[in-house]
Structures are given as C-alpha cells and as structure tokens.
Amino acid sequence: MLKSSLLLAALLLPVFSAANAEDYKVGDLMVSEPWSQELPPNAPTVAAYFVIHNTGKTADRLLSVDTPVADKAELHEHVMQGDLMKMQQVPSVAVPAEGELTFAPMAYHVMLLGLKDRSLLADGKQFPLTLTFEKAGKIEVNVSVQKVPPLATHEHKHTH
C-alpha cells in the first residue's frame, strides 16, 4: 500500500510542478510570477504584474504588451507629484543587464483597458499576456488571477 502511494506521488509530482511553474524564458530574460488581482465589480480597468530577470550582460527594453482580454494594454508607472501619487503611461521600460525589474502595485504595472471578457478576470482563472522586448523578442505568459495578492517576495526596483 505504501509503495503504491509513493509511486502515485512520484507520478503526480511532475504534473503539480508543471501546474505551479510560472517562469517563462525568452533569450536572456525570464518572466516569473505573472498575476493580476481579481476584477472588482464595475471596475473599468485591472492591472497585471510580474518580475523580469535578465541574466544577460546586455540591458533590454520592454516595448509593449498585448492581451486578447482587453482592447488595450499599456505600460504604466506610479510617480510622486507633490503630495500625490499619480499613475502615468510610459513608452517602454528598461530591463537592466544582470538584474531584475519588478512590476507590482504602486510600481511599474500593465494596465488593461477596455476589458472584453470579465469572466476571465475571476479568481483562479488565467489569461494570456504577450510581452514584446527590444532584443529578446516576444513571449506569451499566462497571468494567474488571484483574489488575494501574493506576498511580496521581491524588492520593488525601478529603472528610469
């Protein structure tokens, strides 16, 4: 009995590992932990977040993002203007050589505008997001929608 339980666990391990794999690689870049918070009722927009790791000796740039769940996907950042925190669109975001860039609440993020299928933005769902880099090219990641944001495991880093 114990032997068959161990065999079953060994057989299922790759399935669970694959299901929890949230790393996507293109060139020297790895995109990890793509997530979005569950869409609040009547919210016109939602944001997506992830971490970009660059193992290469050359910097790259995230030029654009796209998803079928929204009419538009834009790169945004939060900046302080006087006493107010303001969100603004940016044309691209630098990814430092041998470094990482974190897209997170109150930092860089992807704004999804003109949401098409709100049912895909519910807890437990996933939606595709295509990131286009200047040097590494395009990569599609699956964004996990979560009711509760994951714990911050990375320091928020900006490259301006």
Instruction: Identify the CATH number of the domain in which residue 52 sits.
Output: 2.60.40.1890
Q: How many domains does the chain have?
A: 1
154 domain-assigned: no
Is the Cα dihedral 31, 32, 37, 38 positive or negative? positive
Q: Residue 31 pLDDT > 60, yes or no?
A: yes
Residues with Cβ within 8 Å of 116's Cβ and at least 6 positions away in sequence, in order, are: 68, 69, 70, 71
132 domain-assigned: yes
pTM for the model: 0.79
Q: Residue 129 pLDDT > 70, yes or no?
A: yes
Mean pLDDT across 83-91: 91
Q: Residue 13 pLDDT > 80, yes or no?
A: no
104: exposed, middle or buried (C-beta count within 10 Å: 0-12, 13-18, 19+)? buried
117 domain-assigned: yes
8 domain-assigned: no
Q: Residue 21 pLDDT > 80, yes or no?
A: no
18 domain-assigned: no
Report the alpha-carbon distance of residue 91 to residue 81 in Å, rounded. 19
The vertex-103 CA angle with 40 and 22, nearest 5°, equals: 85
Report the alpha-carbon distance of residue 79 to residue 88 in Å, rounded. 8
Q: Residue 45 pLDDT > 50, yes or no?
A: yes
